[in-house]
Amino acid sequence: MMLGAGDPLLSGKIDLTVVLIVIGKTVAVFAFLLVAVMLYIWFMRKVIADMASRVGPDTAGPWGILQSLADGIKLFFKEQSVPDSADRRVFFLAPYISLMTAFLAFSIIPIGGQVSIAGHQTYLQLADLPIGILFLLAMSGLGLYGVMLAGWSSGSKYPLLGSVRASAQMLSYEAAFGLAIVGVLVQAGTLSTRAIVDKQAWTGVGSLGTWYVIPAFVAFVIFLISAIAETNHPPFDLVEAEQELVGGFHTEYTGIRFAIFYLAEFMNLITMSAIAVTLFLGGPAGPSLGFLSATGAVNTWLMPVFWFVAKVMVLLFGTVWLRASLPRLRYDQLMDLGWKWLIELAFIWVMVSGVIIVGRNEGWNLIAVVPLSLLGGLGILGVLRASMPNRSELVEEIL
Amino acid sequence: MARFSGFGVTFKQMFKPRITGFYPKEKREKPERFHGRHVLNRYEDGMEKCIGCELCAGVCPAKCIYVRGADNSPDSPVSPGERFGFVYEINYLRCIHCDMCVEACPTEAITETKLFEFSFANRADAIYTKEELLVDDEGRAKRQPWELWLGGEDDKTSAWMRATSSSGDADYEGRVNWSGELGFGVREPEQGQSL
């Protein structure tokens, strides 16, 4: 029963209906993600075109909305070449590792509220794991294997370089990413995504303050930056820096296997946005339509999903905006940002919020505790920054 | 905040009109002196203007024109006068569309249209023969299978236009110094020469 500890669907007797509901939810979430990726790619291309004074895809379907479907069909029927020097088994496996982890990570996202299907109460969420966030970290860690093995098994130098970059980058930012999440977990006191969302439930405009974006703002910013770096998106897309590495780790991939990498990449981005919404922006929380019955289908099914999708879309627009505006970071800038800023800031943020929470529980004087802990945190940051070697001095020494 | 000003630039851009169009569905009007592919013109009575003098071939800096003249037979002359262009070939893998041939031609036989969208799949297609270059009985360019013309493009194909005072003499400004084209008539002088 570990898998569904939170979900009321799995707390009773497991009969055929329950199994069917779970299978139905799985299919629905999978289809939701695939359609979301398809639309996101179209949306991204359109918005970037707008920002570059271009028209963008406009031929396939109305406003070119079927462009990614057409691309997918084309890739599906293309020849799939495998380099002679490739490690064939791993080469075939790698794209599916990427896809699988990208999809599994999404399974813990609460998409909507609690609904009733065929007499069973259940969450609009594929799985409410009691260790949900740990599962997310595990999946984003495993996702690295897809990229790494793809580059390694291609038997070609640019994919290898790309995957080495990817491993270094994803490992570096995994730390900041995890610590930013801890910044929320410290306050929420639970690992279950459903419980985290419940703590940010909508009770009126005042509940905006309970969304962790306010009490954990620093963690939110660190999370966004490191999530984009985790998914290898611009401006952190050194992994596929075309000018240097051809296509990066997927240079040798063609046809549908390449499409799967592409799919997984954008799936990861959507998952990350969904995680950010879940952790910081209240997930499906939002005002329901007051003039309709609170137990009606619109307010139990539709409105939470609407709020969830709307928030995710705002974040996804942000990623497109980044892509259109920022040039790629240099490799040392990438490492500096990750190791010298984000990890420390996240660490200090966890400590400061820990102190504040303990202070609140123990009844310390918060007016004294909050500034003191902030000051202490800044002090630690200052000492750390001061103790770091200066790059230009280092370069001079070497020269 | 200067390092974030780029976001403002891209965001503002979203609400500005698009610069790019819907090519090839919609095409822009070509400039008056656009240099596209050539045509060999005819007179109103169907006679060819080319007299096979090879001046175009001689002046061509890319050496892409090959002309051989031949004597007209007195019974069925191809062109008015003694000789006509018996062979006329232009190699579009070499042509740089400099329009020197048009300048050199004494009879306005060779002119450049505004057609430029052709993509041949082999070298033989790249060499336009006299048959392909010659205009039809209406004075229109003949469409080759590898050429892309859309939506009334051929109404604007005859685009060759010369400055009315080519020697720079102001007295000749606005005075047409060329003969009419079959199918398109006499073109108006260009505007704005005397700026």
Instruction: Closest CB to A53: pick one of B6, B11, B18.
Output: B18
In a domain, residue A42? The reply is no
Domains present along chain B, CATH in parentheses: 26-162 (3.30.70.3270)
The whole-number pLDDT of residue B129 equals 93
Chain A residues with beta carbon closer than 8 angstroms to that of B6: 325-326
> In this complex, is the C-beta atom of B26 within 8 Å of any C-beta atom belonging to chain A?
no
With 0-12 / 13-18 / 19 or more C-beta atoms within 10 angstroms meaning exposed / middle / buried, residue B106 is exposed
Residues of chain A with a CB closer than 8 angstroms to some CB in chain B: 47, 50-55, 58, 321, 324-326
The rounded Cα B17 to chain-centroid distance in angstroms is 32
The rounded Cα A385 to chain-centroid distance in angstroms is 29
Provide the mean pLDDT of chain B: 84
> Which residue in chain A has the smallest CA separation from B25?
A59
Are A52 and B6 an interchain contact pair (Cβ–Cβ within 8 Å)? no
In a domain, residue A369? The reply is no
In a domain, residue A180? The reply is yes
Token pair in block for residue A192: 């279950």
Q: How far is B61 from chain A (nearest CA, A)?
A: 37
> In this complex, is the C-beta atom of B24 within 8 Å of any C-beta atom belonging to chain A?
no
Q: Is ipTM strictly over 0.85?
A: no
User: Are the C-beta atoms of residues A335 and A172 closer than 8 Å to each other?
Assistant: yes
The whole-number pLDDT of residue A117 equals 78
Which residues, in sequence order, are bridge partners of residue B128? B90
In a domain, residue A50? The reply is no
The whole-number pLDDT of residue B162 equals 59
The whole-number pLDDT of residue A317 equals 92
Tens of pLDDT along chain B (195 residues)? 677 888 888 888 888 888 888 887 778 877 777 888 898 988 888 899 999 999 999 999 999 999 999 999 988 889 988 999 999 999 999 999 988 898 888 888 898 888 888 888 889 999 999 999 998 888 888 888 888 887 667 776 665 655 666 666 777 777 777 777 787 777 777 666 555
Which residues have CB under 8 Å from A241's CB, separation 6+?
A162, A248, A328
Task: Reduce the secondary structure of chain A to three states and give it as a string.
Answer: CHHHCCCHHHCCCCCHHHHHHHHHHHHHHHHHHHHHHHHHHHHHHHHHHHHCCCCCCCCCCHHHCCHHHHHHHHHHCCCCCCCCCCCHHHHHHHHHHHHHHHHHHHCCCCCCCEEEECCEEEECCCCCCCCHHHHHHHHHHHHHHHHHHHHHHCCCHHHHHHHHHHHHHHHHHHHHHHHHHHHHHHHHCCCCHHHHHHHCCCCCHHHHHHCCCCCCHHHHHHHHHHHHHHCCCCCCCHHHCHHHHCCHHHCCCCHHHHHHHHHHHHHHHHHHHHHHHHHHCCCCCCCCCCCCCCCCHHHHHHHHHHHHHHHHHHHHHHHHHHHHHCCCCCHHHHHHHHHHHHHHHHHHHHHHHHHHHHHHHHCCCHHHHHHHHHHHHHHHHHHHHHHCCCHHHHHHHHC
The mean per-residue pLDDT over the stretch A331-344 comes to 85
The yes-or-no verdict on residue A3 having pLDDT over 70 is no
> In this complex, is the C-beta atom of B3 within 8 Å of any C-beta atom belonging to chain A?
no
The 10s digit of each residue's pLDDT in A107-142 is: 888 888 778 777 777 888 888 888 888 998 898 888
> In this complex, is the C-beta atom of B22 within 8 Å of any C-beta atom belonging to chain A?
yes
The yes-or-no verdict on residue A2 having pLDDT over 80 is no
Chain A residues with beta carbon closer than 8 angstroms to that of B10: 51, 321, 324-325
> In this complex, is the C-beta atom of B10 within 8 Å of any C-beta atom belonging to chain A?
yes
Are A326 and B20 an interchain contact pair (Cβ–Cβ within 8 Å)? no
Write the DSSP symbol of residue B118.
B
Are B10 and A324 an interchain contact pair (Cβ–Cβ within 8 Å)? yes
Instruction: Closest CB to B18: pick one of A54, A321, A325.
Output: A54
Are B14 and A50 an interchain contact pair (Cβ–Cβ within 8 Å)? yes
In a domain, residue A61? The reply is no
Instruction: Closest CB to A53: pick one of B7, B11, B16.
Output: B16
Write the DSSP symbol of residue B11.
H
The yes-or-no verdict on residue A23 having pLDDT over 70 is yes
> In this complex, is the C-beta atom of B13 within 8 Å of any C-beta atom belonging to chain A?
yes
Four-point Cα dihedral A21, A25, A26, A28, nearest 10? 140
Q: How many CB pairs under 8 A join A and B?
A: 31
CA B68, CA B85: separation in Å to the nearest integer? 6
Chain A residues with beta carbon closer than 8 angstroms to that of B20: 53-55
Are A53 and B9 an interchain contact pair (Cβ–Cβ within 8 Å)? no
Q: How far is A51 from chain B (nearest CA, A)?
A: 5
Query: What phi and psi, each to the nearest 5 degrees, are found at residue A114?
Result: -90, 130
Q: How far is B13 from chain A (nearest CA, A)?
A: 5
> Which residue in chain B has the smallest CA separation from A317?
B11
> In this complex, is the C-beta atom of B20 within 8 Å of any C-beta atom belonging to chain A?
yes
The 10s digit of each residue's pLDDT in A174-206 is: 888 999 898 888 888 888 888 888 888 888 777
> In this complex, is the C-beta atom of B2 within 8 Å of any C-beta atom belonging to chain A?
no
In a domain, residue A79? The reply is yes
Of the listed ranges A42-51, A254-263, A298-307, A315-324, the one predicted with least confidence: A298-307
Q: How far is B117 from chain A (nearest CA, A)?
A: 21
Instruction: Determine which of A325, A326, A329 to mutate to test the interface with B (most B C-beta atoms within 10 Å).
Output: A325
Look up tokens 């979203």; give the residue.
B14
> Which residue in chain B has the smallest CA separation from A52?
B13
CA A221, CA A210: separation in Å to the nearest integer? 17
Residue A370: pLDDT band with limits 50, 70, 90: confident
Residue A311: pLDDT band with limits 50, 70, 90: very high
The number of distinct structural domains making up chain A is 1
Instruction: Closest CB to B6: pick one of A53, A58, A325.
Output: A325
Residue A131 to residues A9, A189, A273, A299: CA-CA distances in angstroms?
A: 18, 12, 20, 29
Provide the mean pLDDT of chain A: 84
Of the listed ranges A82-91, A355-364, B154-163, the one predicted with least confidence: B154-163
Four-point Cα dihedral A326, A332, A337, A340, nearest 10? -170
In a domain, residue A242? The reply is yes
Chain B residues with beta carbon closer than 8 angstroms to that of A318: none
The yes-or-no verdict on residue A1 having pLDDT over 60 is no
Residue A2 to residues A5, A24, A118, A124, A127: CA-CA distances in angstroms?
A: 5, 20, 23, 18, 10
Q: The domain containing residue A285 runs over which residues? A: 2-13+72-329
Are B13 and A52 an interchain contact pair (Cβ–Cβ within 8 Å)? yes
In a domain, residue A339? The reply is no
